[in-house]
Structure 1
Amino acid sequence: MAPPTSSASHIVTLLLKFFNFVLLFISLIVLTTNTATAYTEDLTFKVRFNGIYAYRYMLATNVFGVVYTLLQIAFSIFHITMGNHLISGDGGALLDFYGDKVISYLLATGAAAGFGVTVDLKATFDAIGLVIDKSFYEKAYASASLLLLAFICTAILSVISSYAVPKKV
């Protein structure tokens, strides 16, 4: 016997949240391990992600996304197993709706900051003759790309959560 449609949609939503968490977690790992050695004829130094403000913002949005997604996964599992909302009344649907909106905007701006600063750093470093390993840029692009994919997942979740608001409110 097939489960009711609402149970199936809750499971699909949970799977999408889990996929979102995986994207955010991998993005976080790639970003935080991104270091390289830069050098000119006279100077050699380490370039780390945390020395660049846009990457710090990207890290912050990533951490907010991970925490929010973990909470949403916990709430979804509770809802599926217990058959009711953790937050009674209309608050749960509204929390999902507005939370998904805020987090999706944060993830989008974090990804944009990552892409933008990487392009600017490469242009600036090339202009001043600073040589840096190409993998630094590739890892930065990879992390920003994963963050962008996480934004897309969160935006889809936001649309799904918007369907529940009229039913609950």
Structure 2
Amino acid sequence: MAPPTSSASRIVTLLLKVFNFVLLLISLIVLTTNTATAYTEVLTFKVYACYECHWIRIYPLTNCILNFSHYNGKSFNKRDGGALLDFYGDKVISYLLATGAAAGFGVTVDLKETFGLFIDRSFYEKAYASASLLLLAFVCTAILSVISSYAVPKKV
């Protein structure tokens, strides 16, 4: 398979990065605003350690912002190792996102089995939605990783 053209690759990369940023931001908002009441205790994502790893969403968000800032090529030239940085950065972030999505699904299943009748159903639905958005962000980042792998042999 021939590598994609430069302009088409840049447009697709930019669109995927924007879509990835939006998915991560919405996922973070859904997770942080998700609350429920069990008995007399108000439950939030901070109560459970696995949900508290919301930093998994924050790190890729900052990476997206940094990628946008050097996307124009002025602050970080692709010849100076930017292709390798994009390639390995996308790999690391995709693994973080996949791990975060799996942890989100796992802890939600465990909570539902443990407190199923005592917590409102919408709490679980929002937790699943947040993890699903994180999984979609992983798919976007995995695609970005494949696209960035085309640039590595040319630039290194």
User: Which TM-score bucket, shorter chain as reference?
Assistant: over 0.9
Moved over 3 A (4+): none
* Aligned partners of 2:104 and 2:128 also within 8 Å: yes
Secondary structure at the aligned position of 1:37 is classed as strand
Query: Deviation at 1:106?
Result: 0.3
Query: In the TM superposition, what are the counterparts of 1:67-146 in structure 2 within 5 Å?
Result: 67-76=62-71, 78-79=72-73, 86-87=76-77, 89-126=79-116, 131-146=118-133
Query: Deviation at 1:8?
Result: 2.5
In the alignment, what sits opposite 1:150?
137
Q: Percent identity?
A: 71
Cα shift readout 1:76-113 (whole Å, capped 9, x = no counterpart): 2x13xx6xx72352410000000000000000000000
- TM-score, with structure 2 as normaliser: 0.92
RMSD: 1.4
In the alignment, what sits opposite 1:22?
22
Q: Is 1:56 the counterpart of 2:52 in the alignment?
A: yes
> Of the two, which has the highest radius of gyration?
1
Unaligned regions of 5+ residues in structure 2, if any? Answer: none
In the alignment, what sits opposite 1:8?
8
Alignment: residue pair count: 152
Q: Tell me how far apart the structure 2 counterparts of residues 73 and 146 of structure 1 sit (CA, whole Å).
A: 21
- TM-score, with structure 1 as normaliser: 0.85
Q: Tell me how far apart the structure 1 counterparts of residues 76 and 106 of structure 2 sit (CA, whole Å).
A: 40
Secondary structure at the aligned position of 2:50 is classed as helix
Q: Tell me how far apart the structure 1 counterparts of residues 35 and 103 of structure 2 sit (CA, whole Å).
A: 18
In the alignment, what sits opposite 2:153?
166
